[in-house]
Amino acid sequence: MIQLRDLTEDDSERLFLWRREPEVDRWMCGRAAQTLDEHERWFDKFRGDAGSRGWIICRADLPVGFLTLKGLGGCDRRAEWGWYIGDADARGRGVGRAAQALGLDRAFDEFGLNKVWAEVLADNDTALKAQAAAGFRREGYLRRHTLKGDQFRDVVLLSILADEWRARRETYVRGLAPDRRPKVAVNES
C-alpha cells in the first residue's frame, strides 16, 4: 500500500540523504544542499512557508520518497509540483505513479487547485512518461534553463488541470497494481 504522510521534523536528515543520492540529484533542477546545516535551513524555510506542503511517500509504512506542492494559497489556484523516490528499492515498482494519484487528489480535492505544474529535466524520460500517464501536458520548453554541475540543461514545463485529472483519474487508478491504488474509493463497478 502506498500512502502520503505529513512531513515531520524527523524527516529532515532522511531528505538530506535522499536528495544527495546521485540517482535522485541527477534528475532534480537545482543543486542539492552540500552540508546538513544548509539543508536544515532549507527544511526549516520549507516547513515554515504556509504556501508549501510536503509529504513523505510511504510503501508498506516505510518512507521511500518525497512529494511537494509549492505556491499554495495564491489567488490563481495553482501550485508547483515535485516528487522523487529516494529509496532505490522502491524505484521502478509503480510507487511514484501511485504517489502521483494521491498527490493530485490532494491538490485538486483538498486544496481546491485548478492547475498543478512542474519543471522536469528534458532528458528525464522516466519522469516525463510517468507524468504524461497521469495526464500532465507539455506547456513549454526552456533551453539551457538550469545548471547541473558544469552543464546547462533544458527543462520541460508540464501541467495538469483539475478537470483533466478528474476525467482521467479512474482509468489511471485502475491501471495501477491493486496494492498501489490510492485508499480513496474509486467507483469500480
- Give the DSSP letter string of 172-188: HHHTS-GGGS-SS----
Low-confidence residues of the chain: pLDDT under 50: 184-189
Burial 20-34 (b: 16+ CB within 10 A, else e): eeeebbebbbeebbe
CB of 180 closer than 8 Å to CB of 3: no
**Res 32: pLDDT:** 82
Residues 6+ apart with CB under 8 A from 7: 47, 53, 54, 55, 56, 66
**Res 98: pLDDT:** 94
Domains and CATH numbers, the chain: 2-178 (3.40.630.30)
pTM of the model: 0.91
**Cell triple for 124:** 528525464
The separation between the first and the last C-alpha atoms of the chain, rounded to the nearest angstrom, is 21
Torsion angle in degrees (nearest 10) through CA of 165, 166, 171, 176: 60
**Res 103: pLDDT:** 97
**Res 183: pLDDT:** 59
Burial 71-110 (b: 16+ CB within 10 A, else e): bbeeeebbbbbbbbbbbeebbeebbbbbbbbbbbbbbbee
